Amino acid sequence: MWRGLIEEYGAGPSCPPADPAVLHRVEQSLGHSLPPDLGALLLQMDGIEGPYGEGIVWPAVQILENNRTFRTDPGIRSLHRPFDSLLFFGDNGAGDQFSFLWASERAGVHVWDHETDERSPVAPDLAGYVRRALGSGGEDWYR
């Protein structure tokens, strides 16, 4: 499914498939299972890079590293509300981050605005997010 969706927009997979052991390590380290669609995408291609260098979907190791940083870095934690309920998985290339919300009734993909600390829905699911991101002409497609 994911390769076909990516190819619809003239983009190819950014990376070979993620190693299932790496995905397991990500889940264990973060204390949550990955959303099924995200796990399935990563098993087909370990990330999607956008046309402007943005990480539409980060590779699994980057998902782990960035989420650890957002959750534990004292400088980041002192400036923003807690990130423990978010699973960051991509960015717009200019500071805003895309995430899923853990155990939330507000399903779908959300954007965290790095300047305002606002968290807003941008797509009903990962497929909708990928379609919008790849079909856009720039970094602010989600506004």
| Number of domains into which the chain is organized | 1
**Would residue 91 count as lying in a domain?**
yes
Give domain status of residue 24, yes or no: yes
- Phi-psi region for residue 94, left (φ > 0), alpha (ψ -120 to 50) or beta? alpha
Res 52: pLDDT: 74
Is residue 140 in some structural domain? no
Residues 9-45: tens digit of each pLDDT: 776 555 799 999 999 999 999 998 999 999 999 999 9
The label of the residue with tokens 């300047």 reads 115
- Specify if 46 maps to a domain: yes
Question: Which residue range is the domain that position 66 belongs to?
Answer: 2-135
89 in Cβ contact with 57 (< 8 Å): yes
pLDDT band at 53 (very low <50, low <70, confident <90, very high): confident
Number of helices and strands (H, E) in the chain?
A: 6, 6
Q: Is residue 86 part of a domain?
A: yes
Strand partners, 57: 48
Write down the pTM of the prediction: 0.90
Whichever domain contains 125, its CATH number is: 3.40.1580.10
The Cα-based distances of 58 to 97, 98, 104, 116, 127 in angstroms read 11, 10, 22, 23, 15
Does residue 143 lie in a domain region? Answer: no
